[in-house]
Chain A
């Protein structure tokens, strides 16, 4: 992340200078910083709501039931996480929320899953294998129905807006499976986390 952060900013400054847009680049710092706080603040309410709901779901055993149903899959994907960890149920809930396009619910639930995964993590500053798999699931953006995109298509009078559902689903499903397999592959030869604390 150190190099990426460095690279993003250095490339921006150099490209900005070449394109004579250095002023825009500098202004982008302020607008970007403002946007970050706006995004974080806009999350507070909905985050509180879903974290509250998830707590009920956890207390009444719903999360455990969901975790049990998907056990065959999660056993392979998250083999380092104990089977009875609430993380498994949270991951399943977060995945379902994403699949149904409930982004507002998916983010808080996903963050809760990350907190549970962090409990099992040996090095608290470094991503665990399970986290990388979970993030691969999320960044692939699996969604059953791309509702926002369809809304735009309807808005411009697209003849058959639902025709894009099948190709989109195909692309996103393949990407989803690919991302997970890639994460599982990388964990084999990537520099392992510092295991000292675990022993």
Chain B
């Protein structure tokens, strides 16, 4: 039941938004085609403008991931987190999810395939990945698009929130699934 509602929402959300925008535009006599192409023109410049910011962040993060420090931090954290019933397999996800969304999803897929659906690590990893957003990427893209280089407290807020999210995910999963 829930599953079919879910599928329905994810299938129809986008088409419905498009129908709403276009129908309302037509009713209000907005010249749809002209206005659309006029707005779309900016797509190119915005995408190109974010390249320097993306290069800075993505290169730095690629270097960090290649350096092996995430594995080092994982080994350091494993005994601590074992006290909180947190399997070592999930630690790389915690460390990587603010840096790279595709990497976090990749690690989660590995866990799910290797440890199987009945393992607690799979569930915890699912909740952790499902509740996360790639903080560094979001900041680089959004601030890059408008040319802002002084982020003030935006990154700190994002990272503290990520940490709180991890702690919550561990707590909630321990309570519900362990």
Chain A residues with CB under 8 Å of chain B are: 1, 4-5, 8-9, 11-16, 18-19, 21, 24-25, 27-29, 31-33, 35-37, 39-41, 43-49, 51-57, 59-62, 97, 100-102, 105, 107-108, 110-111, 114-115, 117-118, 123-127, 131-132, 134-136, 138-141, 143-150, 152-153, 155-159, 161-162, 164-165, 167-168, 170-172, 174-175, 178-179, 182-183, 186-187, 190-191, 193
Contact = CB atoms under 8 A, between A and B. Distances in A.
28 contacts: A14-B67, A18-B68, A28-B62, A35-B58, A35-B62, A36-B54, A40-B48, A47-B44, A51-B39, A55-B35, A56-B21, A57-B21, A57-B24, A62-B21, A102-B14, A127-B148, A135-B158, A139-B138, A139-B158, A140-B133, A147-B6, A152-B108, A164-B127, A165-B2, A167-B127, A171-B169, A179-B161, A182-B161
B156 to A, nearest CB: 7
A169 B160 CA distance: 18
Interface residues of B, number: 99
Given A36-B55, A136-B157, A175-B161, A12 B24 contact: no
B161 A29 contact: no
Interface of B: 2-3, 6, 9-10, 13-14, 17-18, 20-22, 24-25, 27-28, 30, 32, 35-44, 46-48, 50-51, 54-69, 71-72, 105, 108-109, 112-113, 116-118, 122-123, 126-127, 129-133, 135, 138-139, 141-143, 145-158, 160-162, 164-165, 168-169, 172-173, 176-177
A141 B132 contact: yes
Nearest to B169: A171
Nearest to B118: A159
A105 B19 CA distance: 15
Contact of B164 (A48, A157, A178): A178
Contacts of A148: 105
Contact of B109 (A107, A140, A152, A165): A152
Contact of A61 (B28, B35, B56, B62): B28
Contacts, number: 345
Given A35-B62, A135-B139, A149 B126 contact: yes
A19 B63 CA distance: 13
B54 A40 contact: yes
A8 B50 CA distance: 20
Contacts of A14: 67
A128 B56 CA distance: 22
A171 to B, nearest CB: 4
B41 to A, nearest CB: 7
Nearest to A7: B60
B125 to A, nearest CB: 9
B158 A111 contact: no
Given A35-B62, A138-B133, A158 B122 contact: yes
A97 B151 CA distance: 24
B154 A146 contact: no
